[in-house]
Amino acid sequence: MLHLPNNLRILIGGAVLALILTGIAVYFQSRTDTLPADGEIRNADKPLAVEGIESEIKDGIHEPTGFIADEGLDLVIAHCTACHSAKLVTQNRADREGWKKMIRWMQDTQNLWELGAQEAAILDYLSANYAPVSRGRRPPLTGIEWYELKD
């Protein structure tokens, strides 16, 4: 094994320690001021600050989140995407009562804060834009020449 002078050992040890501490700081730094990536869950303690979202809306869709542009969009972005991806909202459908149950579940089990007076506007937005889609039967087939099968 190579023998290094003591001052060089101290220098190398200090550099390694600095790299480790920098890595820990970067890994654990809070990123609650940005939208979560798909599948990312955060333990946020407050809503995101949302400003200037009008410039991010194209063809009725808020491009960074995929949310439908409508009244209450800013509240939904601030409160919902502070902890999870917008896709967790857009993949679900519920009526007002269903969305309220999901909010209560998040408050009871996931540390979601009280929404206060903003809850009604959030529920209005979610129940209007992400309500269940009624699915009927497909329309009857038309314009097809049917033939009989022969044995």
SS3 breakdown of the chain: % helix, strand, coil, rounded to 5?
A: 45, 5, 50
Query: Is CATH 1.10.760 the right assignment for the domain spanning 53-129?
Result: yes
Is 90 exceeded by the pLDDT of residue 105? yes
Question: 133: burial class by Cβ within 10 Å (0-12, 13-18, 19+)?
Answer: exposed
Average pLDDT over residues 118-134: 95
* Phi, then psi, of 87 in degrees rounded to 5: -65, -25
Q: What is the pLDDT of residues 6-60, one digit of tens each?
A: 788 788 888 887 778 777 766 555 444 567 776 667 778 888 888 888 889 999 9
Is 80 exceeded by the pLDDT of residue 69? yes
pLDDT top residue among 22 and 139: 139
- What is the phi-psi region of residue 60: left when phi exceeds 0, alpha when psi lies from -120 to 50, beta otherwise? left
Is 70 exceeded by the pLDDT of residue 88? yes
Domain range summary for the chain, segments of one domain joined by +: 53-129
pLDDT at residue 25, rounded to an integer: 63
pLDDT top residue among 123 and 46: 123
Is 90 exceeded by the pLDDT of residue 113? yes
d(CA 100, CA 127): 9
pLDDT at residue 29, rounded to an integer: 53
